[in-house]
């Protein structure tokens, strides 16, 4: 039996925004769970990547409250395995950007201790700030 | 052969051992790395959104330097730009791909860089040193080896950015072989293992180090389970996590058995018998010499 999935009208803009930013047709996701199955960060996530896809598909803006998009490190393991060839890493990036573009950063320099700052390589700090600040 | 070389920020600081061992090893087989004049940071991670064109400016600006090197005759007809750092390789390659495939984006980026003497024409190729070695031929490399790394059991760690996404990966995403072929060419044993392309936790090392501890321990445990004596990498961030964070795991659990971490070029230098000071082993955190001395590979 065919099931019709309808986007909530009031949230339609949110879905469109994520599709536009990520360039991915999130509604094509089959919910097979391959992305969640192979994700090396799954233990730290509160919602699975496949659930993120589902919530975006349904325009559920509450997905922004999840920590998952911040835990995703763009390792592209899901991306190379998705049978629908969807780039799930890009969807995570789009979600992060929606938040960061409201000028709310996820990290501030003050959060890093002086001792750690001395130890950390440039590549770690620049990479981190590129993902966690707007 | 002279080839334009993009070092990237970390190769000049914590990963100095990677740079000096690579340059000396490449020289031994007749490849001269010519460092780009005025190179700038690539941004480490690639911007993955459709609009954020501004973030591709930094990678692309470096390609202009390669064009200039050809124009000035510093290199001859060499449109390739070699990188050592896997993350630079990935970020530069993804930006380059976007410019090559999207004329509008290339035009916008060029318009923004109007103070540069030339436009970027879109014909530079970003290549990783491992791909250069593959092209050189691992059989040929094996012939250049003067000190085979006999009995050294090596786990080849690819991490993420050498392989993924597929469009810029240097080898098969699920079953890569290039590092193993390299290891065999040096006369060492390439062990087979599961964690070779599992993420090490990357930049979470800055503010969520527990994730990195868990992932690093999983990677090192898998290497040990499969009989490795050491792990090699081509990423300065993976190296930091595997080396420094692994030594912190040991600090917390004194019974924990660590594995030394080397840049692939340090083992290459060892097998080609470059000067010991060019191996830069003093920059490695987990004691790197004991194992090599035990196998009579280092005096």
Residue A40 preceded by cis peptide, ω within 30: no
Interchain CB distance below 8 Å, A41 and B199: yes
> Which domain range does residue B283 map to?
146-294
pLDDT in tens, A32-82: 999 999 999 999 999 999 999 999 999 999 999 999 999 999 999 999 999
| pLDDT tens profile B35-44 | 999 999 999 9
Report CB contact under 8 Å: A124, B206: yes
pTM value? 0.96
> A68 and A128 share a domain?
no
Tell me which chain A residues have a C-beta less than 8 angstroms from the C-beta of B47: 93, 130
Are residues B125 and B151 located together in one domain of the fold? no
Helices and strands in chain B: count of H runs, count of E runs: 12, 8
Decide if pLDDT at A5 tops 70: no
Are B214 and B253 members of one domain? yes
In this structure, are A43 and A90 located in the same domain? yes
Q: What is the mean pLDDT of chain B?
A: 97
User: Is residue B95 domain-resident?
Assistant: yes
Pairwise CA distance, residues B136 & A82, whole Å: 34
Residues A19 and A77 grouped into a single domain: yes
Same domain, B152 and B279: yes
Enumerate the residues of chain B whose CB falls inside 8 A of the CB of residue A97.
49, 52
pLDDT score for B263: 98
**Averaged pLDDT, B273-296:** 98
Do A49 and A93 fall into the same domain?
Answer: yes
Indicate whether A63 and A118 sit together in one domain: no
Nearest C-alpha in A relative to B216: A40
Query: Domains in chain B: how many in total?
Result: 2
CB contact under 8 A, B48 and A74: yes
- CB contacts of B41 in chain A (<8 Å) are 126
CATH number of the domain that residue B256 is part of: 3.40.50.11810
Residue B78 belongs to domain with CATH number:
1.20.1050.140
Q: Decide if B202 and A73 are in contact by the 8 Å CB cutoff.
A: yes
How does pLDDT run across B206-252, given as a tens digit for each residue? 999 999 999 999 999 999 999 999 999 999 999 999 999 999 999 99
Distance from CA of A6 to the nearest CA of B (A): 26
C-beta atoms of A87 and B165 within 8 A: yes
Our count of domains for chain A comes to 2
B107-140: per-residue pLDDT in tens?
A: 999 999 999 999 999 999 999 999 999 999 999 9
Antiparallel, parallel or unpaired: β B189-190 and B261-263: unpaired
**What residue numbers bound the domain in which A114 lies?**
107-134
ipTM of the assembly?
Answer: 0.95
Minimum-distance CB partner of B48 among A80, A89, A123: A89
The verdict on residue A44 lying in a domain is: yes
Residue A1 lies in a domain: no
Residue of B nearest to A92 (CA): B48
Would you say residue B241 lies in a domain? yes
Residue A9's pLDDT is what? Answer: 61
């Amino acid at each position: 039996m065919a099931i019709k999935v309808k986007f909530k009208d009031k949230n339609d803009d949110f879905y469109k925004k994520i599709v536009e930013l990520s360039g991915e047709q999130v509604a094509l996701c089959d919910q097979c769970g391959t992305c969640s199955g192979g994700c090396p960060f799954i233990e730290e996530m509160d919602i699975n990547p496949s659930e993120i896809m589902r919530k975006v598909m349904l325009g559920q803006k509450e997905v922004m409250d999840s920590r998952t998009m911040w835990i995703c490190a763009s390792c592209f393991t899901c991306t190379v395995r998705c049978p629908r060839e969807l780039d799930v890493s890009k969807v995570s990036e789009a979600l992060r950007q929606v938040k960061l573009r409201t000028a709310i950063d996820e990290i501030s320099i003050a959060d890093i201790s002086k001792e750690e700052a001395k130890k950390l390589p440039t590549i770690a700090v620049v990479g981190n700030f590129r993902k966690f600040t707007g | 052969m002279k080839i334009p070389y993009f070092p990237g920020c970390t190769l000049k600081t914590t990963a100095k051992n990677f740079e000096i061992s690579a340059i000396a090893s490449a020289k031994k087989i007749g490849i001269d790395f010519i460092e780009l004049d005025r190179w700038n940071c690539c941004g480490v991670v690639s911007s993955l959104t459709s609009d954020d064109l501004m973030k591709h400016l930094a990678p692309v600006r470096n390609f202009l330097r390669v064009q200039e090197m050809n124009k000035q005759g510093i290199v001859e007809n060499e449109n390739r730009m070699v990188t050592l750092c896997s993350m630079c390789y990935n970020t530069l390659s993804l930006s380059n791909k976007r410019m090559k495939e999207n004329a509008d984006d290339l035009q916008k980026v060029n318009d923004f860089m109007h103070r540069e003497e030339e436009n970027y024409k879109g014909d530079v190729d970003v290549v990783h040193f491992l791909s250069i070695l593959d092209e050189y031929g691992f059989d040929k490399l094996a012939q250049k080896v003067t000190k085979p790394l006999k009995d050294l059991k090596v786990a080849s760690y690819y991490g993420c950015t050498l392989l993924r996404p597929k469009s810029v990966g240097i080898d098969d995403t699920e079953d890569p072989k290039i590092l193993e072929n390299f290891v065999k060419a040096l006369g060492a044993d390439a062990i087979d293992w599961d964690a070779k392309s599992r993420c090490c936790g990357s930049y979470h090392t800055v503010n969520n180090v527990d994730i990195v501890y868990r992932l690093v321990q999983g990677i090192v445990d898998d290497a040990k389970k499969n009989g490795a004596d050491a792990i090699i990498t081509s990423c300065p961030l993976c190296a930091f996590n595997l080396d420094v964070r692994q030594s912190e795991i040991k600090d917390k659990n004194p019974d924990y058995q660590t594995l030394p971490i080397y840049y692939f070029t340090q083992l290459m230098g060892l097998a080609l018998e470059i000067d010991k000071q060019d191996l830069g082993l003093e920059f490695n955190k987990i004691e790197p010499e004991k194992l090599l001395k035990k196998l009579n590979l280092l005096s």
